Structure 1
Amino acid sequence: MLVVSLSLLFLFVCVGGWLLLFPAGRDALAGVAWPRCRAVLRKRQAWLLAGGALLLVMPAMLALVASRRLALPAFEADGHAVNVQVADLLKGEQLVPPPSLPPLAFTTVEVMRVRPLLAGASRSWQLLNPDFEQRLLLVFRIMKERHGYDMALLEGYRSPERQDLLASAGASVSNARAFQSYHQFGLAADCAFLRDGILVISEKDPWAMRGYRLYGEAAEAAGLTWGGRWTMMDFGHTELRLPGARQRKR
């Protein structure tokens, strides 16, 4: 429907421009059509005025209908439902973030090889949306109590400047610019596993890959979106997609 409307608008604009810019065209049209249509036009003058008004407002109407906030494919809405038992748990106690890891834990050889820009990341739980924080902490508890995985927050809130920095490093790092990511609104986090006190991020580690699959299941049960289902898979990423959240800039 939109394509048809735009095509008609284009046709009307072309004809109108031709009549406006070329007097010969107007004379030719008048010579052919005017003798026959003069009587009809007198009766339908009101309709012509209404049609002209509609032609004037049509571009604005089409722009309004066609307009929508652009988003990357990875950020389209999904239909994962919250697990009933998880929803009940979210109504209960307020979970507390785990103790912070020392900065050196994020600068090991393995971590720097997989996430070379991680040293400048924010790992403050206080900068996360409270609802998202509680859901993520519940996922951490499930991973620990049911599956035996200790987890750590690699990055939570991300400034728009840092988001652009990561995007400039290439699509293998991030394909989202500033305010195209839920990180800018405290609604996304990148997480990894702790094994014997050491961060394990690599997807080549079978133990970590098993953990990522369990992590994705737990995250989706908590109503979060898991990056492991995206085309550019991001196994450690989860986000909470609140309606209209990315329209509110910090």
Structure 2
Amino acid sequence: MFLFSVLMFFLFACVAAWLALFPAGREVVVLSMAAAVRRIGQQMRDGCLAGGRQAATAGRGAGAGLMQVLRFLRRRYLLILSATVLLTVPTMLALALSGRGMLGGYDSDSRAINEQVTELLKGELLALPAPLPPPAFTTAEVTLVRPMLDGANRNWQLLDPEFAQRLLLVFKIMKEAHGYDMAILEGYRSPERQNALAAAGPGVTNAKAFQSYHQFGLAADCAFLRNGKLVISEKDPWTMRGYRLYGEAAEAAGLRWGGRWTMMDFGHTELRVAGMARK
């Protein structure tokens, strides 16, 4: 449906350009419309004559009205053409996309999961890390990067169990293989909070309620701990190295990493589940 809408827009734009650039084309269209109006007017007049004087008067009035409309269209065709494009094309695109949530393109994942990670996931359940004190999430450095973090939910129990185990495995790899301690900034996110974040602007998120895996407990935003303090800033070389390693470990565990998106979100990972967008 989307491709059809794009094709229709392309054809419409070609016709509009042809009319705008070629006076002969416009003349042909206008003359054709005038001939059609005259034929209609003649038929109406003939019918009116057969039906009586009152009908004839109405027919002449209608014909005159049509001619006035035609003259107006001829004088203002460029303005009307532009307005038509502006009014119809966005509506067509919105209708084409209205049935698709942000999750629609995320249902399938053909990436192979690291076999060693797969075996580890079959083992015993990993323990949850100790929660950080609330003031750790409201420091000046953290608030500068994530100003609405104080209202975030960090309860591991609200995450999908499979996703939580994969994320815990990533934390384990980051600690044991690379020396990075990690903490979750936000896990499950209510639809109300999702809409509030979306209202804050595209710099925060483009996803509205139920257009994010956060609403299904299948996504989390994470950051690093250094000397007991959260470090989020991408300007820190140590942090950026950690994000790259974090992305590699997350993808090896079968997760999607936000660092590969156009609107990069280095601390974000999610588990994409087939059919979730249709639930």
Q: Which amino acid in structure 1 is aligned with residue 123 of structure 2?
A: G
Over the residues paired in the alignment, what is the CA RMSD in angstroms? 2.5
Alignment of 1:190-229 (within 5 A): 190-229=221-260
Partner of 1:231: 262
Query: Quick one: which amino acid aligns to residue 70 of structure 1?
Result: R
CA distance in 1, matches of 2:189, 2:197: 10
Q: Which residue of 2 aligns with 1:71?
A: 101
Partners of 1:74 and 1:231 within 8 A in 2: no
1:74 to partner: Cα distance:
9.6
Percent identity for Structure 1 against Structure 2: 70
- Taking the aligned partners of 1:186 and 1:73, their CA distance within structure 2 comes to 14
Asked if structure 2 preserves the Cα contact closer than 8 Å seen for 1:139 and 1:215, the reply is yes
Secondary structure, counterpart of 2:143 in structure 1: helix
Contact 2:103/2:277 (8 A) holds in 1: no
Deviation of the 1:247 alpha carbon: 3.1
Q: How far apart, in 2, do the equivalents of 1:141 and 1:160 lie?
A: 30
CA distance in 2, matches of 1:99, 1:79: 34
Please say if 1:174 is aligned against 2:205: yes
Q: In 2 relative to 1, CA 166–74 (structure 1 residues): closer, same or farther, beyond 3 Å?
A: farther
Aligned residues: 192
The AA in structure 2 aligned to 1:84 is E
Q: 2: distance between equivalents of 1:173 and 1:146? A: 31
Give the TM-score of the pair, scaled to structure 1: 0.71
Amino acid at match of 2:276: A
- Report the Cα offset of residue 79 of structure 1: 3.1
**Matched position secondary structure for 2:239:** helix
Deviation at 1:81, TM superposition (A): 1.7
The DSSP-based 3-state class of the residue aligned with 2:197 is helix
Deviation at residue 93 of structure 1 after TM alignment: 1.0
Answer whether contact 1:128 1:187 (CA < 8 A) is retained.
yes
- Amino acid corresponding to residue 71 of structure 1 in structure 2: G
2:157 counterpart of 1:162: no
**For structure 2, which runs of at least 5 residues remain unmatched after alignment?**
9-39, 44-95
Larger Rg: 2
The one-letter code matched in structure 2 to 1:170 is G
Distance 2:275 2:144 in 1: 36
The one-letter code matched in structure 2 to 1:100 is P
- Contact persistence 2:259–2:265 (CA under 8 A): yes
> Is 1:112 equivalent to 2:150 in the alignment?
no
State the one-letter code of the partner of 1:89: L
Q: Secondary structure at the match of 1:189?
A: strand
The answer to whether 1:102 aligns with 2:124 is: no
Distance across 2 between alignment mates of 1:103 and 1:119? 8
Q: Is the 8 A contact 1:81 1:220 kept in 2?
A: no
Give the equivalent residue in structure 1 for 2:276: 245
Equivalent position to 1:153, from 165, 168, 184: 184
Amino acid at match of 1:246: A
Change (3 A) 1:134 1:71: same
> In the superposition, relative to structure 1, how do residues 100 and 242 fare at CA in structure 2: closer, same or farther (>3 Å)?
same
TM-score, normalising length: structure 2: 0.64
Give how far 1:246 is off: 3.4
- Distance of 2:278 and 2:4 partners within structure 1: 27
Task: For residue 85 of structure 1, give the secondary structure of its aligned residue in structure 2.
Answer: helix
Q: CA deviation at 1:80?
A: 2.4
Q: Aligned-pair distance for 1:244?
A: 1.5
Letter in 2 for 1:157: Y
Structure 1 spans left out of the alignment, 5+ residues: 8-21, 25-65
Question: Greater helix share, 1 or 2?
Answer: 2
What's 2:156 paired with? Answer: 125
